[in-house]
């Protein structure tokens, strides 16, 4: 276990370093990326731009700039550290990047964790139902519904559902967008998030339903399922203990990675459509401004969760499947 | 006279598939008494596994049709409902499968899986069930059962897994133990041990055994009665000694000829039965073995019944050749003399 943790930690450091390098390199390489020009604005004089370049250190070698940016990022992560010039700040509005990401975390986590639970539970359930009623109308209905779900893009479904179901529109069932903190009002929190949860989940439910269905159909023909029936177990118990339990192994792997990717940026569209002010929306706003520090912060934030969750997936995998446990 | 446990009367099992009706079992009769070992022998696709699984109702499906009767202590298994079947399965008739690598669930410990078999039929707590699992593992010859009970299947070798399967099958002290090719997936050195174990435990647990195999050598030691199946039918049925010393069916000769023997002159090649078993959807007319039989003649276009044709009254076969012809022809076939074929 200790060896596993050390190995994963080393891996995480390498991945995060590489990701930060790549993000930085992209910004140096893209045209129109000169931050001094962007900060100075459209009507700035050449002298103005030069001054800004000097003041912000854009005239230094790229590795000095990179090192400086990383140093600022670490400073900002230190608890209780405050310094106007020592923190990682946005080029365009000088706000502290880490504070901005922290502010967005509750909304993003509420959205993704809630949606994750919904899509995992519903996906598994739908997949099992489709598999055990294979070929019958329930299976066919689920298959068609899953295909429809997979085919609907979030921005379209989100806007459509807001237009039809949210406040001020034909069928007012849900409040129209915005995020209410859980600590402030749990009921309003859930009420405001319900629509975003469903919109974000639908695509995944369709996909997970399909994966789970085929996994169950594979497992159901395994010899050990026949053994379980031959022991005299009731069909429900065979299904729960021997079929579903074993079918979950591939689905859990998939879930860990999808969940991490969604926290790390996959929910951008949903956050944007429902104006949740989460990390994803912060990322989207800053990408459109080509503002390097926030993009660096958000990218590393996403990469960190992907690395963390792939380690958790490995743990879950070992818990589900004793064959890969180290002995 | 020992207690009659199983009586199969004119059993037919048919599967409706997209290609047509598969007649997997077509009119099988046999009986099994307490303490007896019945060997069912045949190639793949001869219907032996389907027969054995039908005894436990494991072939039930919306596309399966049954005819005839499978009586367990006088009760018809085919007409039982699901709950009654669950009572029989594992508790009164238990089954050991061919491949111990895949027949145990990889995600539960050996102990968990044996406990599950005990607890589904008896209301005992987990501790008592575990104690019994340890005892069962000891009886099937697993060393250190106290610690091995917490191992997962992948930590057991093939032979040990099959022993664990046997322990699981015996968990509720069943009357009938059905072993479907229990040694096929194992090393030759382990095969004899497993068969011996099944034979010994049969006496300890006072059960009867149905031993299914494609290898007559496997049943040679332990079986009392042997049934040879071909294309869903019984083609020869006899007490073991009779079957080995006076086989009447050319198909049986083929099976016997394909066992390597040390007590006969060495031949260049081991005998094999030419061709493949017939499709169970389009069966040949007449004797089902006719297309592969080296001794087929005109009369074989009509199917022979399963009748007694020799001195021993319990010896039945399906072949039109006269007993004298058979006795003359078969030694050459068994010895692998290609001239005869």
What is the pLDDT confidence band of residue B154, given thresholds at 50, 70 and 90?
Answer: very high
Closest-approach residue (CA) in chain A for B151: A322
Q: Do A323 and B106 touch (CB under 8 A)?
A: yes
Q: For B294-340, how does the pLDDT look when each residue is reduced to its tens digit (9 = 90+)?
A: 888 888 888 888 888 888 888 999 988 888 888 888 777 766 554 44
Q: For A229-273, how does the pLDDT look when each residue is reduced to its tens digit (9 = 90+)?
A: 999 999 999 999 999 999 998 898 889 888 988 888 778 888 888
Q: Using CB atoms within 10 Å of the CB of residue B261, give its burial: 0 to 12 exposed, 13 to 18 middle, 19+ buried.
A: middle
What ipTM did this prediction achieve?
0.85
Low-confidence ranges of chain A (pLDDT < 70): 32-33, 167-170, 326-327
Q: Which of A298, A308, A314 lies closest to A108, judged by CA?
A: A298
What is the pLDDT confidence band of residue B273, given thresholds at 50, 70 and 90?
Answer: confident
Cα separations in angstroms, A59 against A40, A85, A86, B254: 15, 17, 18, 91
Distance from CA of A189 to the nearest CA of B (A): 39
Sign of CA dihedral A78, A82, A88, A94: positive
pLDDT at B81 over 70: yes
Residues of A in contact with B61 (CB under 8 A): none
Can you list the alpha helix ranges (DSSP code H) found in B98-239?
A: 110-121, 126-139, 145-148, 158-169, 188-204, 216-220
Q: What is the mean pLDDT of residues B100-121?
A: 92
- Which pLDDT score, from 0 to 100, does residue B106 have? 92
Q: Do A322 and B154 touch (CB under 8 A)?
A: yes
Q: Do A232 and B86 touch (CB under 8 A)?
A: yes
Q: What is the mean pLDDT of residues B100-124?
A: 92
- Which pLDDT score, from 0 to 100, does residue B2 have? 79
Q: Chain B contact for A136, CB < 8 A?
A: no
Average model confidence (pLDDT) across chain B: 87
- Which pLDDT score, from 0 to 100, does residue B177 have? 93
Mutation target to probe the A interface, by most A beta carbons within 10 A, among B61, B105, B116 is B105
- B95 and B178 Cβ atoms separated by less than 8 Å: yes
- Which pLDDT score, from 0 to 100, does residue A327 have? 58
């Amino acid at each position: 276990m200790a060896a596993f943790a050390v190995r994963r930690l080393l891996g995480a450091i390498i991945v995060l370093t590489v990701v930060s390098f790549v993000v930085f390199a992209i910004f140096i390489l893209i045209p129109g990326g000169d931050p001094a020009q962007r900060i100075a604005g459209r009507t700035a004089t050449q002298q103005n731009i030069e001054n800004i370049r000097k003041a912000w250190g854009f005239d230094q070698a790229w590795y000095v700039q990179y090192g400086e940016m990383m140093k600022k990022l670490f400073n900002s992560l230190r608890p209780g550290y405050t310094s106007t010039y020592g923190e990682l700040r946005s080029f365009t509005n000088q706000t502290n990047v880490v504070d901005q990401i922290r502010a967005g975390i509750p909304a993003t986590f509420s959205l993704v964790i809630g949606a994750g639970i919904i899509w995992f539970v519903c996906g598994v359930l739908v997949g099992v139902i489709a598999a055990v009623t294979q070929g019958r109308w329930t299976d066919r209905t689920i298959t068609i519904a899953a295909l429809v779900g997979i085919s609907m893009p979030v921005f379209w479904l989100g806007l459509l559902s807001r237009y039809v179901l949210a406040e001020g529109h034909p069928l007012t069932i849900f409040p129209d967008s915005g995020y209410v903190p859980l600590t402030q009002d749990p009921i309003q929190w859930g009420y405001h998030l319900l629509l975003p949860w469903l919109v974000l989940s639908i695509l995944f439910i369709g996909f997970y339903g399909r994966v789970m269905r085929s996994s169950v159909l594979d497992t159901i023909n395994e010899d050990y399922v026949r053994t379980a029936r031959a022991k005299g177990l009731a069909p429900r118990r065979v299904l729960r203990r021997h079929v579903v339990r074993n079918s979950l192994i591939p689905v859990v792997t998939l879930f860990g990675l999808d969940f991490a990717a969604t926290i790390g940026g996959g929910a951008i569209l949903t956050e944007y459509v429902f104006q949740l002010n989460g990390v994803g929306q912060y990322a989207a706003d800053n990408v459109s401004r080509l503002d390097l520090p926030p993009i660096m912060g958000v990218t590393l934030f996403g990469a960190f969760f992907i690395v963390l969750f792939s380690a958790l997936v490995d743990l879950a995998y070992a818990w589900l499947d004793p064959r890969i446990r180290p002995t | 006279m020992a207690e009659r446990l199983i009586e199969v009367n004119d059993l037919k099992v048919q599967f409706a598939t997209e290609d047509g009706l598969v007649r997997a079992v077509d009119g099988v009769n046999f009986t099994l008494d307490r303490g007896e070992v019945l060997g069912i022998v045949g190639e793949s696709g001869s219907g032996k596994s389907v027969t054995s699984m039908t005894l436990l109702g494991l072939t039930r499906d919306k596309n399966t049709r049954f005819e005839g009767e499978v009586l367990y202590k006088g009760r018809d298994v085919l007409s039982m409902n699901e709950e009654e079947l669950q009572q029989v399965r594992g508790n009164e008739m238990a089954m050991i499968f061919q491949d111990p690598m895949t027949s145990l669930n990889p995600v539960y410990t050996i102990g968990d899986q044996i406990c599950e078999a005990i607890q589904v039929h008896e209301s005992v707590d987990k501790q008592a069930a575990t104690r019994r699992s340890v005892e069962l593992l000891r009886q099937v010859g697993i060393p250190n059962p106290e610690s091995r009970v917490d191992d997962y299947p992948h930590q057991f070798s093939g032979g040990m897994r099959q022993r664990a399967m046997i322990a699981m099958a015996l968990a509720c002290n069943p009357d009938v133990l059905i072993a479907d090719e229990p040694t096929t997936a194992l090393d030759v050195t382990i095969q004899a041990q497993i068969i011996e174990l099944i034979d010994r435990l049969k006496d300890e647990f006072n059960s009867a055994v149905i031993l299914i195999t494609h290898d007559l050598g496997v049943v040679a030691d332990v079986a009392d009665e042997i049934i040879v199946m071909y294309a869903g039918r019984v083609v020869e049925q006899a007490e073991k000694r009779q079957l080995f010393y006076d086989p009447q069916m050319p198909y049986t000769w083929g099976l016997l000829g394909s066992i390597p023997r040390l007590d006969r002159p060495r031949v260049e090649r081991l005998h094999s039965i030419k061709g493949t078993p017939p499709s169970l959807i389009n069966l040949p007319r007449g004797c089902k073995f006719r297309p592969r039989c080296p001794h087929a003649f005109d009369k074989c276009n009509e199917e022979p019944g399963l009748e007694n044709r020799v001195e021993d009254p319990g010896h039945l076969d399906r072949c039109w050749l006269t007993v004298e012809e058979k006795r003359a022809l078969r030694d050459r076939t068994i010895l692998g003399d290609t001239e005869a074929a």
